[in-house]
Chains A and B, each alone.
Chain A
Amino acid sequence: MMRVWLLLLGALATVGFAFIVLVAVPGVMLQDVPRPAQLQPYTAEQARGREVYIANGCVYCHSQQIRDPAFTTDVQRGWGNRATVPADYVYDRPHLLGTMRTGPDLINVGQRLPDEGWQLLHLYNPRTVVPWSIMPAYPYLFAVRDSASVGPDARVIAVPGKYAPPPGRVVVATPDAMALAAYLISLKRDYPVTAPAGARDSAGRRVAHTMP
């Protein structure tokens, strides 16, 4: 090759083509993904919990996607009742689909483990409830305070066994811990979305279906 402009234009063309195929065209196609009626936007607290989830890198060990039962056993494992579809993620910015399952998938964790007390205890130290867990403990999302100084509004976590605080002191959830638990409990994509491909609602918009 002798010409710089040919090199640079060619290089621009290849990356431009990939951009069109993988970013621009899907962008247009996914524009009218309908918002499922049963899926609520995140509340302010849940959204804050999502920020805590991101800031602490939960995504590096937990995925948020159920794959096609014909292809994997995600559904048989009890992680969801169906494969997730684009419509399930319309409020997710950024996406948290994830690439690792060092821990279990979380897209339906709110359906599986809806108890706030369990979630908080598990965040304080996962081994209090799951002895074999290798998930990090998150004590910094909690405060250990004198029991006398704790007001009635504080969310006190009863920590059993060897992770319990010293006598006279209690473990109190911070707002970040409460928000994270609220976000986790909100994760549910169990409403039915099955519809024939290409189906449209009364307004003429496409209806979500399992295999887009």
Chain B
Amino acid sequence: MITSARPTPAGAHERADIDVRLRADLSSRGPVLLAFGSAIVWLLVGTVFGDIASFKLHLPDWLVQQAWLTFGRMRTVHLNAMIYGWASLAMVGVSLWIIPRLVHTELRYGRLARAGIWLWNVGLVLGNLGILAGYNDGLEWLEMHRYFADPWLVVGGGLVGIALLVTLMAREVDHLYVSVWYVMAAYLWFPIIFAVGNWPGFTGVESGATNWFYAHNALGLWLTAISLGAAYYFIPKVLGRPVYSYQLSLLGFWSLAFFYALNGMHHLVGGPIPEWMITTSIAASALMLIPVLATAVNHHITMVGRFGALRYSPTLRFVVLGAIAYTAVSLQGMLTALREVNRITHFTQWTIAHSHVGVYAFVTFVMFGSIYYILPRLVQREWPSARLIQWHFWLVLLGIALYVIALTVVGVRQGLAMLDPQVSFQRSVEVTIPGLVARSVAALALTAGHLVFVWHYWLMVRGRAPARETLVFHEARPILYEPEPEGALR
């Protein structure tokens, strides 16, 4: 059941419905703005560090005099700032806004959630400063210090989770919409996998297996879960049309929960861990076809016949592209897990391209789209400039397209070169250089897009924008909306 019925000429029922949403939005306003605000600071931090790391790969003598500026630390802060700063905090904001709306009540324990967001940020600052200073736990995706930084994230995330759970228990609807499943499950999954990943007792190949059990699930059971929850909310919401199939969303959710969790060892294909573990993960990766197709059908069929709506809704544009990227990255991931493909692409730039389809084209696009929808409803103003949104959209879209194409192509060339013992290793490095340079160009486009977005966000929250009566893209002819109930900002 979708919360938004298509708006009809306002009757008592619709007015009550709008009232519920207004109360929900008012209750979550403070924590959501805090989460979004800090997410955007981390977006900028992650962007700067990513840019520097990208340039360093083809300018290896640039910025080498200080330890904290070395590639291995810049890249690591880029990853941690983007995953735990930008993506996670944006998702916290989306969760705190979406759950009260979906369960028709006010957010409970908002102050607890706010404290949780602050603690999470403290952990991030400590963790990333630690990485720059050389304190690194040595595990990919788990570099932040296990005792000085990570506990802040566990407690902070836990407090947000408690606020969400209490809100859920106070719900005024019986049915739990599919977005609720994804969001609430993610807050259960994350602390479990994070604790396992950080557990200090593992040695040797066990440490490797646990590392990738965590890192793959951080993507699958945390980033993907909440982003899919958001996509399930916004696509039907903006279109005013229910998702295609309830049964498919049920199948998609449970099969994702079951198969995704088993995928991690495909990061170690051919490696020294027991063969059956890798085979298990390859099989589970192939079975990801089930949740991916179920979700793809649900998202994309809901869109069919409504693509014109992409012209006037920036939210829909970002979220639908994000949903398409989810389908694409999942199919690519299944392919990459197959041994015959993996022997070429493993250890190459292909993997970096793949991870950016996931975390950028999917997760980040969904978060951009969500913020475009949510922020006007929190500050009671419409976005001041359609042009800034257009610039943001096209810069990041073209930027990520160039990024992914460049690194995918050179990744395959690199892999083929490494697979042929007649070809020198030097050759496998040289073939990547054009792709690495193109990636730096792409990084600049993404950076420009982020600056436009952050500037626009700043105008909104500082109230520098004139209040608007119309939708930001009103000049494009609305094809779905009928007249709005008076005084209601949907």
A residues with a Cβ closer than 8 A to B are 1-2, 4, 7-8, 10-12, 14-15, 17-19, 21-23, 26-27, 29-30, 33, 54-61, 63, 65, 67-68, 71-73, 76-77, 83-86, 88-104, 125-127, 132-140, 211-212
**Shortest 10 CB-CB contacts between residues of A and residues of B:** A57-B72, A18-B261, A89-B204, A67-B270, A55-B134, A76-B421, A101-B347, A11-B185, A95-B207, A14-B257
Within 8 A of A (CB), among B335-354: 339, 343, 346-349, 351-352
Query: Complex Cα distance A133/B60, Å?
Result: 8
Kindly report which residue of chain B lies nearest to residue A210, judged by CB atoms: B272
Is B90 among interface residues, defined by CB-CB distance under 8 A?
A: no
Query: Complex Cα distance A133/B433, Å?
Result: 11
Contact check, A23 vs B196: say whether CB atoms are below 8 A apart. yes
Contact of A57 among B71, B192, B421, B428 (CB under 8 A): B71
Given contacts A76-B421, A91-B203, 12 further A-B pairs with CB under 8 A are: A4-B168, A11-B189, A11-B257, A15-B257, A56-B70, A56-B134, A60-B140, A73-B420, A90-B203, A101-B428, A136-B60, A140-B70
Which A residues touch B60, using CB under 8 A? 126-127, 133-137
Kindly report which residue of chain A lies nearest to residue B171, judged by CB atoms: A4
Contact check, A132 vs B351: say whether CB atoms are below 8 A apart. no
Contact check, A29 vs B210: say whether CB atoms are below 8 A apart. no
Query: Complex Cα distance A138/B189, Å?
Result: 40
Query: Complex Cα distance A83/B62, Å?
Result: 36
Question: How far, in Å, is B154 (CB) from chain A's closest CB?
Answer: 16
**Selected interface stretch from B229-237, B273-281, B325-333:** B273-281
Is B425 among interface residues, defined by CB-CB distance under 8 A?
A: yes
Q: Which of A68, A88, A95, A100 is most buried by chain B, counting CB atoms within 10 A of its CB?
A: A95
Query: Complex Cα distance A10/B60, Å?
Result: 49
Contact check, A212 vs B274: say whether CB atoms are below 8 A apart. yes
Contact check, B205 vs A89: say whether CB atoms are below 8 A apart. yes
Contact check, A65 vs B271: say whether CB atoms are below 8 A apart. yes
Contact check, B262 vs A22: say whether CB atoms are below 8 A apart. yes
Question: How far, in Å, is B149 (CB) from chain A's closest CB?
Answer: 15
- Once A55-B135, A72-B343 are accepted as A-B contacts, the answer to whether A10 and B210 lie under 8 Å apart by CB is no
Query: Complex Cα distance A103/B135, Å?
Result: 23
Is B121 among interface residues, defined by CB-CB distance under 8 A?
A: no
Query: Complex Cα distance A126/B339, Å?
Result: 33
Interface secondary structure of A, over-half rule: loop
Query: Complex Cα distance A100/B346, Å?
Result: 7
Contact check, B261 vs A86: say whether CB atoms are below 8 A apart. no
Is B258 among interface residues, defined by CB-CB distance under 8 A?
A: yes
Contact check, A138 vs B64: say whether CB atoms are below 8 A apart. yes
Which B residues touch A137, using CB under 8 A? 60-61, 64
Is B298 among interface residues, defined by CB-CB distance under 8 A?
A: no
Is B394 among interface residues, defined by CB-CB distance under 8 A?
A: no
Contact check, A23 vs B210: say whether CB atoms are below 8 A apart. yes
Contact check, A57 vs B261: say whether CB atoms are below 8 A apart. no
Which A residues touch B428, using CB under 8 A? 101
Contact of B217 among A18, A94, A98 (CB under 8 A): A18
Query: Complex Cα distance A59/B419, Å?
Result: 21
Within 8 A of A (CB), among B186-219: 188-189, 192-193, 196, 202-211, 213, 217
Q: Which of B209, B267, B280 is most buried by chain A, counting CB atoms within 10 A of its CB?
A: B209
- Once A27-B206, A72-B419, A77-B425 are accepted as A-B contacts, the answer to whether A57 and B76 lie under 8 Å apart by CB is yes
Contact check, B70 vs A97: say whether CB atoms are below 8 A apart. no
Kindly report which residue of chain B lies nearest to residue A65, judged by CB atoms: B271
Contact check, B270 vs A18: say whether CB atoms are below 8 A apart. no
Is B65 among interface residues, defined by CB-CB distance under 8 A?
A: yes
- Once A4-B176, A137-B64 are accepted as A-B contacts, the answer to whether A104 and B425 lie under 8 Å apart by CB is yes
Is B56 among interface residues, defined by CB-CB distance under 8 A?
A: yes
Contact check, A57 vs B205: say whether CB atoms are below 8 A apart. no
- Once A15-B189, A54-B138, A90-B203 are accepted as A-B contacts, the answer to whether A97 and B72 lie under 8 Å apart by CB is no
Is B184 among interface residues, defined by CB-CB distance under 8 A?
A: yes
- Once A60-B75, A96-B138, A125-B61 are accepted as A-B contacts, the answer to whether A22 and B347 lie under 8 Å apart by CB is no
Interface secondary structure of B, over-half rule: helix
Contact check, B205 vs A55: say whether CB atoms are below 8 A apart. no
Question: How far, in Å, is A26 (CB) from chain B's closest CB?
Answer: 6
Contact check, B210 vs A17: say whether CB atoms are below 8 A apart. no
Query: Complex Cα distance A93/B139, Å?
Result: 10
Kindly report which residue of chain B lies nearest to residue A57, judged by CB atoms: B72
Is B470 among interface residues, defined by CB-CB distance under 8 A?
A: no
Query: Complex Cα distance A124/B60, Å?
Result: 12
Contact of B136 among A4, A23, A55, A84 (CB under 8 A): A55
Question: How far, in Å, is B338 (CB) from chain A's closest CB?
Answer: 12
Contact check, A22 vs B213: say whether CB atoms are below 8 A apart. yes
- Once A30-B204, A86-B273 are accepted as A-B contacts, the answer to whether A22 and B264 lie under 8 Å apart by CB is yes
Contact check, B205 vs A4: say whether CB atoms are below 8 A apart. no
Which A residues touch B203, using CB under 8 A? 89-93, 95
Contact of A17 among B208, B261, B281, B349 (CB under 8 A): B261
Contact check, A132 vs B202: say whether CB atoms are below 8 A apart. no
Query: Complex Cα distance A154/B392, Å?
Result: 55
Which A residues touch B243, using CB under 8 A? none
- Once A68-B270, A93-B202, A102-B429 are accepted as A-B contacts, the answer to whether A8 and B418 lie under 8 Å apart by CB is no
Contact check, B213 vs A136: say whether CB atoms are below 8 A apart. no
Contact of A99 among B71, B72, B184, B347 (CB under 8 A): B347
Query: Complex Cα distance A129/B64, Å?
Result: 18
Contact check, A57 vs B429: say whether CB atoms are below 8 A apart. no
Which B residues touch A132, using CB under 8 A? 426, 429-430
Which A residues touch B257, using CB under 8 A? 10-11, 14-15
Contact of A134 among B57, B73, B204, B274 (CB under 8 A): B57
- Once A15-B189, A73-B419 are accepted as A-B contacts, the answer to whether A59 and B138 lie under 8 Å apart by CB is yes
Which A residues touch B273, using CB under 8 A? 26, 86
Query: Complex Cα distance A1/B261, Å?
Result: 21
Which B residues touch A61, using CB under 8 A? 71-72
